[in-house]
Amino acid sequence: MRHILFSLCAAMLLALTLPAMAQTPSGPVQTLLQEHSALIEKASRKTVQPAIDALATSGLPAAQTVLQKWQSKDMWLRKDQDGFFWAEDLGDKQYRLYDFDTDQPVGDYDKKALKQLKPNSGVRALIGVALVQFQLSDPDPIRRQEALTAIKRDSAPAHLAPLRASIEGETDPAIKARKEQLEVLLTLRFDTDDAARVAAIESISKDISLDARAALNSLLTSSIKYAPAETANIAGPVEPGSADLTVEAAYDMMVAENAATALPSAVERKTFLSENIQGGLVGGIPVAQLSTQEARDRAYATLNPTWSADVSKASIVANAPFFRVYAEPSSAVTTAAEKALNSINTRVGFNQSLDLLLDGLSLASIFFLAAIGLAITFGVMGVINMAHGEFIMMGAYTGYVVQQMVPNYTVSILIALPLAFAVTFAAGVAMERLVIRHLYSRPLETLLATFGISIALQQIAKNIFGTQARPLTAPGWLDGAWVLNDVVSISYIRIAIFVLALIFLAVFLFIMNRTRLGLETRAVTQNPRMAASMGINPDRVNMLTFGLGSGIAGIAGVAIGLFAKVTSELGSDYIVQSFMTVVVGGVGNIWGTLAGAAMIGFLQKGIEWGNPSNTLAAQTYMIVFIIIFIQFRPRGIIALKGRAAGD
């Protein structure tokens, strides 16, 4: 009895010294892991996929946890016993293991008694693909979005079923829409039912998105093959010697298929003849007579009766059957994809035209803003102001200075617009009083004087601000673009400039038609002598008009500076277009300036669209066109009678 009690006590003491639950835990996940233990322990990208697939398709609640822990290198083994676990680091190289099936602790172990599984990057990538299906139904919407992004980036047939299953229970409308769109794209690529694939293709026949077009194009990938099998999905015959298939490529393809014998080249034939010289003869022909290719060919034909000089690669491939074969085996799918893609391409062409129209309208707005001040001064006063671009530059730098003092971009722009007008208005008035007023009716001297002023203003700007471009930052609400679809978009800054151009058009029309200054300006424009006799001071009108045109240029500089580099040469980039806008539209007419800006803006964008790789060439073509246009209509689109027209 004493021995029995001693044995029981010893057994109990031994049990207490061992970690709790030292036996191998049992459960469905553990069983599955044990079945694939060899693949998991020595995981490699080439061999581990069956183990990952078994976990992903098991339907077990703990499968996601296993994959996540495995991917994060937190799966552990006990060296002396079976079982896979995840661990909690207790410090001092002590770890507490947890069972995957129950999430209950198995025991505490020293790190020396454990083996940590560390899958490489390739294995972790495969695990990540398998985890996507669990993330599709994750309670966290961010994880669901991430799962959809992962599927879109690296789609696989295994994603289709879990994606479909997750759609019905999706509560977020935006995520559900993404899932439905992605489900269609995966269906047309991976579904085993051709009818379902065709239906999916037809459902996106009006979708011009890049994803839809890429999915359809993937179905229409093809390659050229020689004499394909009767079951192949053939797109059409290919003629050897065409742009798609050269004679050389066709011949090599036939040789690779053992449908033709490789022809020896001229060098190979000459080498063969050299190796078969006997007694100074080759094929019965003296070596001295083999100085021409024709003679060498006769000798070679004598030694190789099956070869003929008349046989060429072109003659071999002339009537050979070459076809373009789709990689997609189903003809119903490729036919539907081709029809849908043609429909989409038609819609893409229409939207590209709309996008080009918006780009032209945006550029026309910029040219109108830059030219409207010049139209006023040139039309009313007949002054060729080559320094007009520098007033644009001054306005842009005014906006930059304001932003250095007012960090709030929205407030700084609201302050900069009227301040730029005031600064450039004052500069314009000073220029008119000090220089321009002494040069009326002397256009050549005016041109040279204003050109010199423009150079001086550029140098002053360089001395103050340096030669580096200065940032004029748009408010945050102008960031981004208005996106209609994957083809049509326009930045919010361009929209703001378009709205600003409309505002200036309305303000200018109001000033010219509803104010005394406008009445006096129109009177001076039509007949300055008659206006003077009616009590109007032409000098005062000229001063205010020049100041008004300069002030508008300053505001245009703030708007242009939001998307262009603010440098001392900023105005030089727009002075040529401004003069072209005024001259083409009709000197001194606001509607003519608007028409000229629209014509030049749309023309330049159209030429750039036809020659996108060379913007400079596009501008050159535009200038040539305008020169020709002026030859036939020297007074512009809308001619103005009065001093501006030379009356």
Segment 470-518, tens digit of pLDDT: 888 888 888 888 888 888 888 888 888 888 888 888 888 888 788 888 8
What pLDDT was estimated at residue 399? 92
Cβ–Cβ under 8 Å, residues 601 and 364: yes
Residue listed under structure tokens 């689109």: 637
Is residue 421 within 8 Å of 551, Cβ to Cβ? yes
Measured between alpha carbons, how far is 634 from 368 in angstroms, rounded to an integer?
20
Beta-carbon count within 10 A of 166 CB: 22
Contact call for residues 62 and 104 (beta carbons, < 8 A)? no
CA distance 188 to 19: 55
Q: What is the pLDDT of residue 637?
A: 78
pLDDT value, residue 323: 93
Q: Which residue(s) pair with 409 in the sheet?
A: none
CB-based contacts of 443: which residues, under 8 Å, 6+ apart? 382, 383, 384
Tell me the CA distances in angstroms from 595 to 207, 389, 505, one per residue in order: 36, 21, 12
**CB neighbours of residue 236 within 10 Å:** 8
| Domain covering 349-645, topology | ABC transporter involved in vitamin B12 uptake, BtuC (1.10.3470)
Predicted local confidence at residue 639, as pLDDT: 64
pLDDT value of position 612: 62
CB 62 within 8 A of CB 81: no
Residue 379: what pLDDT? Answer: 64
> If DSSP codes are grouped into helix, strand and coil, which group holds residue 224?
strand
With beta carbons less than 8 A apart as the criterion, state whether 75 and 117 touch. Answer: yes
**pLDDT given at position 138:** 81
Residue 465 burial (CB count, 10 A) = 17
The pLDDT, as a whole number, for residue 641 is: 53
Q: Report the distance separating Cα 494 and Cα 559, nearest Å.
A: 9
DSSP string, 254-298: HHHTTSSPPPPPHHHHHHHHHHT-BTTEETTEEGGGTTSHHHHHH
Which secondary-structure segment (H or E) carries 285?
strand 285-286
Q: State whether residue 128 is helix, strand or coil.
A: helix
Q: What is the Cα–Cα distance from 408 to 523, expressed in whole angstroms?
A: 44
The pLDDT of residue 456 is 93
**What pLDDT sits at residue 338?**
93
Q: How far apart, in whole angstroms, are the C-alpha atoms of residue 645 and residue 80?
A: 103
Q: Is-contact 235 324, C-beta < 8 A?
A: yes
pLDDT value, residue 290: 82
Q: Which two tokens stand for residue 561?
A: 């500076």
Residues in the chain where the model's pLDDT stays below 50: 1-22, 642-647
Residues 504, 243: Cα–Cα separation, whole Å = 55
pLDDT digits (tens, 9 = 90+) for 72-128: 899 898 887 778 898 988 888 899 999 888 888 988 999 888 888 888 888 888 888
**Residue 561: enclosing H or E segment and its boundaries?**
helix 538-561
Q: Are 553 and 370 in contact (CB under 8 A)?
A: yes
Q: Which pLDDT belongs to residue 418?
A: 92
Beta strands in 305-357 (DSSP E): 322-326
Cα distance between residue 332 and residue 199, in whole Å:
11
| CA dihedral of residues 182, 187, 188, 190 (deg, nearest 10) | 110
Token duo for residue 50: 């069956």
- The residues spanned by each domain of the chain are 2-125, 136-221, 264-310, 349-645
